[in-house]
Amino acid sequence: MKNKHLIVATIILSVISLFIGAKTLSIQDLFNGGETEVLVFMLSRIPRLISILITGMALSISGLIMQQITRNKFVSPSTAATMDSAKLGILVSMIFLPGLPVLGKMGIAFIFALGGTFLFMFILRKIKVKNVIVIPLVGIMLGNLIDSITTFVSYRFDLIQNINAWLQGSFSMVTKGRYEIIYLAIPLSIVAYFFANKFTIAGMGEDFAKNLGLNYQLIVNIGLAIVALISSAVLVTIGSIPFVGLIVPNIVSMIRGDNLKNSLGTTALLGAVFLLFCDILGRVLIYPYEISISLTVGVLGSIVFLYLIFKGVKK
């Protein structure tokens, strides 16, 4: 898998994405200067495309970091209670601070996401049997427990519809002025690149990392903080999107190996291509209506995930 092929695929899918939607657009419409068409293009299509690209890259990178730190290929923000904890944080902000701006909600979601991820890592250290399947199952069970608490509390406060509408992953509501928080993922991804070699060393184990003079716990905490921030930014902007951070790093590692710095760029590009493809698929299957991105990614991602599990079991 060469990056230039992924770049070409990204460009082609990006052009297709810009001209697909309930409102029919063409290049001729833009050149003719139709006011409605230009407004739709500038205020909706371009922000949507940018948010898709950044979200796909950021979720893939966060999954790669999680897998490197935990030394498990089936761990990601969606299987390590990170996303579920961020959901609980958003619910808490809706109950106690309903007038809080989106950035404030993201801050609370980040605190809960980080706390949930640390809890998962604490449980991980206590587990004696660290099987490749057992570890993500523990994360999924912890996430389901937290999700159950979120559902119960939202039911008691009559906020189930509110929280479901907020968390349903979709790019259909992305417009200018409502997606800019996702830009936070760009500097976070850059930080991840500079720490890539240290994450790789940390992934070799605590004793090995300490023997090389690496502050193991500090590097792990930085990695988890990056993952929690990315997850929170995506959640408050787009909603919950499963599997991207799980399957994309696995596909890349099969081809490029486990050196995080060498595979970071490929992982980011493949994540963007995968999410773009799923978004376009969701827009054309029942055109002019749209299927949410969480559904299309969930269906395709679950198929790939099952393949990865069965392949791991055979080994």
For 63-85, how does the pLDDT look when each residue is reduced to its tens digit (9 = 90+)? 999 988 888 888 888 888 899 99
What range does the domain containing 300 cover? 3-314
pLDDT at 26 over 70: no
pLDDT attached to residue 162: 77
Q: Which of 86-95, 160-169, 209-218 has the least mean pLDDT?
A: 160-169
Check whether 179 has a pLDDT greater than 70.
yes
74 vs 309: CA distance, rounded Å:
8
C-alpha pair distances (Å), 239 with each of 87, 293, 297:
9, 9, 13
DSSP for 170-203?
A: -STT--TTSSGGGGGHHHHHHHHHHTHHHHHHHT
Does residue 129 surpass a pLDDT of 80? no
For residues 229, 232, 236, 238, the Cα torsion angle rounded to the nearest 10 degrees is 90
Q: Rounded to whole angstroms, how far apart are CA atoms 86 and 229?
A: 10
In this structure, which amino acid lies at residue 146?
I
Find out whether 311 and 258 touch, Cβ atoms under 8 Å: no
Instruction: Please state the φ and ψ torsions of residue 127, each to the nearest 5 degrees.
Output: -75, 130
CA 214 to chain centre: 28
**Domain count of the fold of the chain:** 1
Residue 32 has pLDDT above 80, yes or no: no
Q: Is the peptide bond before 288 cis (omega within 30 degrees of 0)?
A: yes
Neighbours of 186 (CB within 10 A): 12
Average pLDDT of the segment spanning 212-237: 90
Confidence bin at 1 (pLDDT 50/70/90): low
Least confident of 71-75, 120-124, 249-253, 290-294: 71-75
The CA distance from 60 to 49, in Å, is 17
Q: Give helix 244-256 / helix 46-70 axis angle, nearest 10°.
A: 70
Q: What is the pLDDT of residue 312?
A: 57
Residue linked to tokens 């049997």: 129
Report the DSSP beta bridge partners of residue 168: 240
Q: Name the residue among 235, 242, 186, 179 with its Cα closest to residue 58.
A: 186
User: Amino acid identity of 71?
Assistant: R
Instruction: State the chain's mean pLDDT as an integer.
Output: 86
CATH number of the domain that residue 59 is part of = 1.10.3470.10
The span from the CA of 74 to the CA of 307, in Å, is 12
More confident residue, 289 or 175: 289
Mean of the pLDDT values across residues 124-137? 77
pLDDT above 50 for 315: no
